[in-house]
Amino acid sequence: MVTYLSLAAGLLLLLFCGDLLVRGAVALATRLGIPSMVIGLTIVAFGTSAPELVVSIHAALKGVSGIAIGNVVGSNIANVLLVLGLPAIIYPIICDQPAIRRNTVIMLGSSALFTFLCWHGELHFWQGALLFLLLILFLAYSAHYAATCPEAVSGEVDELIEEGALPAGSGRITVYLLAGIIGLPLGAHLCVTSATEIARTFGVSEAAIGLSVIAIGTSLPELATTVAAALRKQADVAVGNVIGSNIFNILGIMGITAMVKSIPVPPNFLFFDLWVMMIAAVLILPFALARTTITRSAGAVFLIGYMSYLYFLFLADQAASGM
C-alpha cells in the first residue's frame, strides 16, 4: 500500500510542480519583456515536458533504462491513441491547424530516426546530441514560421495571461519556480523507486510499468484538458499539441537523457513497442495531410487500439518473464 501511495504521490508532484514551474517561468519571462511567441516555443514547450524529462533522467541515472525509454515511447503512444481517441469519441476533432502537415511529417521522421538509433542497442551521447540538435533546428524553424505566419502562433501564453493564471509579484514567482525545481526531482524519485518496486512485486518488467502506468500518469494533464475541450466542442487544438509533445519527447527528452547517460535499449522495444509508436504516428498522417476530421468511429479505433496495446504489452511481458 505504501508503494502505491508513493507512486501516486510522485505522479501528483510531477503534475502539480510541473504546472507551477511553467507558470512561474512564463510570469518571469513576461516580466523581462520576452515575446510570447518565444515563451511559447521554449519555456512552455520545455516546461510541459519537464515531468517526463526528470523521470527519464532519474531512471537513466539509476540504471532503469526500461523506465527511461518506456516513459517517452509510452507517452507518445498514449498521446495519439488515448489523448486523441477518447475526446474524438465525445466530439469529432478537425485537423486544420496551421503547419499541421509539416509538424506531422517531422514527428514521423523523428520517430523513424529514433527507432533507427535504438537498433544500435544503446543510445550514447552522440546520438542524444544529434536528437537535441534537431530539436534546436525545429524550434528555430518554428520561430521563423511563426514570425512570418502570425496566425500559426499558439495563444497558450496569452490565455495564461488573460485568465490571470500567472503569479503576480516577485515573491510568488520565486515560490512557483522553487516549487517546480524542488518538487519535480522529488516526484521523479518517488515514481521511479515505487514503480521499480511494484514491477518486482508483480514480476513484470520496469519497461512495462514505464510504458503504461508512468506514461499514462504523465499524459493525464493533456488528456484532462483535451476531454474538457471536447465537452465544449473545442478540442481541435489537441492535435497540434499532441504532435508537438511527441516531437519534444523524442528529440528533447531522449536527446537530453542520452547526453546525461548512455541508455541500453531493452530488446522488447525493438520488436514491439517502437513499432507501435511508429504505427500511432502514421495513423495521424492521413488526417493531417488531408486536413480532415478525426471522427467518432476513428476515435473508437484509436481507443480500442490503445487498450489492445496495453493487453499485449503485459501479455508479452509475462511470456518473457516466464521464459
176-199 pLDDT per residue, tens = 888 888 887 888 788 878 877 887
Cell numbers linked to 213: 502506468
DSSP 152: G
Question: What CA–CA distance (Å, rounded) separates 307 from 186?
Answer: 30
Question: What CA–CA distance (Å, rounded) separates 81 from 298?
Answer: 10
pTM: predicted TM-score of the whole model, two decimal places = 0.84
Domain extent, residue 77, equals 2-322
Report the domain count for the chain. Answer: 1
Question: What CA–CA distance (Å, rounded) separates 230 from 182?
Answer: 34
263 phi and psi angles, rounded to 5 deg: -120, 115
pLDDT at position 273? 94
The domain that holds 202 is classified in CATH as: 1.20.1420.30
Question: What CA–CA distance (Å, rounded) separates 196 from 253?
Answer: 20
242-270 pLDDT per residue, tens = 888 899 999 999 999 999 999 999 888 99
DSSP 119: T
164 CA to centre of own chain: 26
Q: Is 323 helix (H, G, I), strand (E, B) or coil?
A: coil
pLDDT at position 34? 66
21-46 pLDDT per residue, tens = 777 877 877 777 766 556 665 666 66
Question: What CA–CA distance (Å, rounded) separates 220 from 162?
Answer: 24
pLDDT at position 126? 95
